[in-house]
Amino acid sequence: MKAHYFDYAASTPADPRVAQAMAACLTLDGNFGNPASRSHRYGWQAEQAVENARRQLADLLKADPREIVWTSGATESNNLALKGVVEALRDAGETGPLHIITSAIEHKAVLDPCKWLAQHQGVEVTYLTPDADGLITPQQVADALRPETCLVSLMAVNNELGTLTDVAAIGALLSKHRAVFHVDAAQAIGKIPVDVKAWQVDLLSVSAHKFYGPKGIGALFVKREPQVKLAAQIHGGGHERGMRSGTLATHQLVGLGEAARLVAEEGAADEARIRGLRDQLWAGLQALGDVYLNGHATQRTANHLNVSFGGVDGEILLASLAKVAVSSGSACNSATVAPSFVLKAIGRSDALAHAGIRFSLGRFTTSDEVEAVIAEVARVVAMLRG
């Protein structure tokens, strides 16, 4: 029997329209050429397709297409943003102390580069602690700012909780400071409106497979006015205006562009429908008793529902939910048996952090599926509670 898929925050299936657009870029009778081949029609057509995708993503983000730098996904975008800012400052001759502000509940794709910069570049990092609702406030950022702060990196939507950071308020705060503002928007696109101008961000990371596009492709928004200076992390040909070398994957970029177009046209309707399904799921789970919502009740996306179940062993609970595809936190940490560091950061006990389950819904979730999942979770929880 096929499991009910409730792990859209880990990865979304490609929309069939995205897959169709990608398939047309793979074979001899399609648009398979190298976008960097400037001497024949195959290359020109591929370049045109890549640039069309660049515009589609830029339109979704309210950006200039020249501000979109292609990457392999949000992890690479985050590394390029964080390491690129610090190394560009060092290359420009800045020898004094540098300071970064981030939070204790960022994705590992931000926390690990921060750790690397502290160890190898001598950068001091401040990790802001969320409140009990999983929120980082603009006031916390203001209190942590120093003259030597060169970068603030905060996610728009937390990947485990779905909680929303007030990035617009933080962007307004940082507009008066020299610090570059980087936002990891991997979980935001397709779930909330993203506007780089309104948010006043300098750098913003994108991952296609979080909004019904293909895996292995993403982008980094890099503000042009004033131009954010970044040191490239991948060298070999000077592609993407010298910021990211490598042959562009036409089919993946066409898929990302089509996924962005669909979000622009259908995202609001998706959000309203999914919110109703999420609330239906929460009502059913809440009725089981001794169930706790993790994260702010309203300041979160429609797609996420992170709950802890009292009176059960978390590992046994997750293993017993074989008919439901869910996670105990970030997909990047699914191999560890330690309790979620995000749930620990918001004050959950070890037992409740271990028993935390992230349900995430999406474009293809149905009401019947929600009812089936409620029934299955109720059966498993009742069995484990004896």
Question: In the listed set 262, 293, 311, which residue is the last one of a domain according to the structure?
Answer: 262
pLDDT tens, residue by residue, 60-110: 999 999 999 999 999 999 999 999 999 999 999 999 999 999 999 999 999
pTM of structure:
0.96
332 annotated active-site? yes
**Do 274 and 147 share a structural domain?**
no
**Do 358 and 297 share a structural domain?**
yes
**Do 305 and 177 share a structural domain?**
no
**Do 302 and 156 share a structural domain?**
no
Supply the CATH number for residue 146's domain. Answer: 3.40.640.10
In which domain, by residue range, is 378 found?
4-11+267-385
Q: Is the peptide bond between 226 and the residue preceding it cis, with omega within 30 degrees of 0?
A: yes
**Do 96 and 133 share a structural domain?**
yes
**Do 213 and 238 share a structural domain?**
yes
Question: In the listed set 215, 238, 262, which residue is the last one of a domain according to the structure?
Answer: 262
**Do 327 and 249 share a structural domain?**
no
**Do 274 and 321 share a structural domain?**
yes
**Do 283 and 217 share a structural domain?**
no
pLDDT tens, residue by residue, 24-52: 999 999 999 999 999 999 999 999 999 99
**Do 274 and 250 share a structural domain?**
no
Question: What pLDDT shows up at residue 2?
Answer: 85
**Do 181 and 83 share a structural domain?**
yes
Of 308, 276, 268, whose CA–CA distance to 291 is shortest? 308
pLDDT tens, residue by residue, 146-191: 999 999 999 999 999 999 999 999 999 999 999 999 999 999 999 9
**Cα(91)–Cα(63) distance, rounded to whole angstroms?**
28
Question: In the listed set 201, 236, 262, which residue is the last one of a domain according to the structure?
Answer: 262
**Do 317 and 251 share a structural domain?**
no
**Cα(357)–Cα(341) distance, rounded to whole angstroms?**
13
In terms of DSSP bridges, do strands 356-360 and 68-71 run parallel, antiparallel, or are they unpaired? unpaired
- Domain tally for the chain? 2
Strand partners, 327: 358
Supply the CATH number for residue 281's domain. Answer: 3.90.1150.10
Check: CB of residue 154 under 8 Å from CB of residue 111: no
**Catalytic residue (choose from 25, 114, 150, 332):** 332
Angle CA 350–78–254, to nearest 5: 115
